[in-house]
């Protein structure tokens, strides 16, 4: 039986896995490099917690309906702590649809308006009362014994010590060194990978309570011929404005400068009001995140484990484009599934990994494929590439998915479908499985085709003029 578990990484996936195991009587030790500061609130955590181990920590986040629903099912105290800290629970369907259209099933769409630091602080405080969090501490390698397949039996730390364990959980995130360590031990994992081909820029603001309603931000996003933009609401009267562009668009890389970011945002109608001091003021300088890839690691080959004694969760198993806001939901999904499989099959490490893959494998494949396909649609557009024959059918589906989003605020059928996909209440690829949704999406497609294209942002030439006028220094 599995009695001792060590978790590499104390972020959302690692903490959730550890708590779920501890609740079943398993001894858990989490190895976490970054120390959490003493904070009185999630707002303080955003301002004080640097968190270098999580590159997306201060970028825009969406904690979707699935995140909230999973926590209510498995750790309701975390949701209570978040709401007590001022985090709002918002159901966008009930905000925008008249009450006569509401059904009991619509309650599932409720999500959390929260920034990453506040969310993680609430989870870390809850976990700290239940599991051993060694911080600061950092993993430096794995203890692997030869075999067919090899078996991980512990973790080596940077201080030279070793933590033995019946099972290791890899919650090391998008930068997890575990695949490299396994490769050094002779284990070559299979990897599906596609470059997101995008660099991200985010800036958070403090909203003036007397200014615009944060609900105005819903749907404030889009992809143009050269760049993309969006907006997220946060806790404690905050909101984020975000932009993405190609990593090799040298002119747009100047968005990393505060003045340039503000200058461009002011020329985007959906974002412009939110740069005005009457509505909000910046909380920090622009955050940049590069090197983003869609990744799906496979620990099973033809149903057989490549290695035993280690289970990947969160981004260590599957990474999707952060622009789509699925990361936290999948982290919690993988975490609870890993804990359940450990409890159910703790007497057989092979069965444990097979069970875990049976619980999450199909969905990990689907979110990876959906994210990669949405990225390819944008890449073809930005790089002026013709869609290859093998991808035409998928790109036609992407066009319909985009029409689901485009019609969400006016059509309740599309509104529900959009929220179910955004909130991962259904597998994201299933949004077009409903004939009624397809019919309504095609109707939106016809309406959009009959209208003149709506201007949502500066075109490429105007954008170059704006960037030139901003003249960043440094």
Kindly report, residue by residue over 278-324, the tens digit of the pLDDT. Answer: 999 999 999 999 999 999 999 999 999 999 999 999 999 999 998 88
Query: Quick one: pLDDT band at residue 55, thresholds 50, 70, 90?
Result: confident
pLDDT of 170 higher than 60: yes
Q: Which two tokens stand for residue 47?
A: 């301002």
Per-residue pLDDT tens digits for 347-356: 999 999 999 9
Last residue of a domain, one of 291, 311, 342: 291
Residue 308 is given by DSSP the state: B
Which residues have a Cβ under 8 Å from the Cβ of 49 and sit 6 or more positions away?
A: 34, 36, 37, 39, 57, 117, 121
For residues 303 and 346, state if they share a domain: yes
For residues 180 and 220, state if they share a domain: no
Q: What is the pTM of this model?
A: 0.95
For residues 74 and 101, state if they share a domain: yes
CATH number at residue 259: 3.30.70
Alpha carbons within 13 angstroms on the beta-carbon side of residue 121 total: 29
For residues 47 and 102, state if they share a domain: yes
Query: Quick one: pLDDT band at residue 452, thresholds 50, 70, 90?
Result: confident
Closest of 5, 60, 54, 12 to residue 30, by C-alpha: 5
**Angle between helical axes of 65-74 and 76-84 (0-180°, round to 10):** 120
Last residue of a domain, one of 332, 355, 385: 385
Last residue of a domain, one of 339, 356, 385: 385
Per-residue pLDDT tens digits for 200-252: 999 999 999 999 998 888 878 899 999 999 999 999 999 999 999 999 999 99
For residues 67 and 143, state if they share a domain: yes
For residues 167 and 268, state if they share a domain: no
For residues 232 and 156, state if they share a domain: no
Q: CA Rg, the chain, in Å? A: 23
**Pairwise CA distance, residues 272 & 268, whole Å:** 6
pLDDT at residue number 472? 59
**Least confident stretch, 64-78, 216-230, 332-346, 402-416:** 216-230
pLDDT at residue number 451? 84
For residues 160 and 28, state if they share a domain: yes
Span 432-445, mean pLDDT?
97
**Pairwise CA distance, residues 465 & 149, whole Å:** 59
pLDDT at residue number 220? 85
Span 402-407, mean pLDDT?
94
pLDDT of 474 higher than 70: no
**Pairwise CA distance, residues 315 & 317, whole Å:** 5
For residues 178 and 271, state if they share a domain: no
Q: For the chain, what is the domain count?
A: 3
**Angle between helical axes of 392-406 and 412-422 (0-180°, round to 10):** 110
For residues 187 and 311, state if they share a domain: yes
Q: State the residue range of the domain holding 256.
A: 199-291
Per-residue pLDDT tens digits for 118-143: 999 999 999 999 999 999 999 999 99
**Angle between helical axes of 327-344 and 349-382 (0-180°, round to 10):** 170
For residues 104 and 154, state if they share a domain: yes
Span 15-27, mean pLDDT?
97
Span 163-179, mean pLDDT?
96
For residues 380 and 247, state if they share a domain: no
Beta strand 111-113 with 88-90 is: antiparallel
């Amino acid at each position: 039986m599995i009695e001792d578990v060590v978790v590499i990484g104390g972020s959302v996936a690692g903490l959730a896995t550890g708590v779920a195991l501890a609740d079943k009587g398993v001894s858990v030790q989490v190895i976490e490099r970054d120390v959490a500061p003493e904070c009185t609130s999630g707002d303080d955590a955003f301002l004080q917690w640097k968190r270098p181990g999580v590159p997306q920590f201060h970028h825009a986040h969406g904690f979707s309906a699935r995140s909230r629903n999973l926590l209510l099912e498995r750790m309701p105290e975390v949701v209570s702590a978040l709401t007590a800290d001022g985090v709002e629970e918002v159901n966008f369907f009930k905000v925008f649809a008249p009450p006569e259209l509401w059904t009991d099933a619509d309650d599932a769409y409720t999500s959390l308006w929260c920034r990453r630091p506040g969310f993680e602080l609430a989870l870390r405080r809850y976990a700290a009362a239940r599991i051993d969090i060694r911080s600061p501490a950092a993993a430096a390698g794995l203890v692997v014994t030869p075999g067919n397949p090899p078996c991980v039996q512990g973790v080596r730390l940077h201080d030279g010590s070793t933590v033995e364990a019946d099972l290791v959980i890899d919650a090391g995130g998008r930068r997890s060194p575990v695949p490299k360590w396994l490769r050094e031990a002779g284990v070559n994992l299979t990897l599906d990978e596609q470059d997101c081909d995008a660099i991200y820029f985010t800036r958070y603001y403090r909203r003036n309570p007397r200014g615009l309603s944060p609900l105005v931000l819903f749907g404030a996003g889009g992809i143009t011929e050269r760049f993309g933009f969006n907006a997220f609401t946060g806790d404690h009267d905050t909101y984020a404005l975000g932009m993405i562009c190609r990593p090799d668009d040298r002119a747009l890389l100047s968005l990393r400068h505060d003045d340039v970011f503000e200058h461009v945002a002011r020329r985007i109608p959906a974002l412009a009001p939110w740069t005005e001091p009457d509505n909000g003021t910046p909380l920090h300088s622009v955050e940049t995140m590069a090197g983003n890839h869609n990744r799906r690691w496979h620990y099973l080959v033809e149903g057989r484990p490549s290695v035993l004694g280690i289970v990947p969760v969160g981004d260590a198993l599957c990474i999707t484009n952060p622009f789509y806001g699925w990361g936290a939901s999948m982290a919690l999904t993988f975490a609870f599934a890993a804990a359940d499989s450990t409890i159910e099959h703790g007497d057989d490490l092979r069965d444990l990994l097979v069970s875990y893959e049976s619980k999450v494998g199909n969905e990990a494949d689907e979110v990876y494929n959906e994210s990669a396909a949405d990225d390819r649609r944008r890449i073809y557009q930005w790089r002026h590439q013709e869609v290859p024959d093998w991808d035409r059918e998928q790109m036609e589906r992407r066009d319909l998915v985009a029409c689901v989003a485009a019609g969400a605020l006016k059509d309740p059928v599309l509104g529900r479908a959009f929220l179910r996909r955004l909130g991962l209440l259904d597998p994201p690829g299933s949004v077009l499985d409903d004939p009624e949704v397809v019919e309504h999406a095609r109707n939106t497609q016809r309406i959009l085709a009959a209208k003149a294209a709506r201007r949502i942002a500066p075109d490429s030439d105007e954008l170059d003029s704006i960037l030139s006028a901003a003249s960043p220094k440094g």
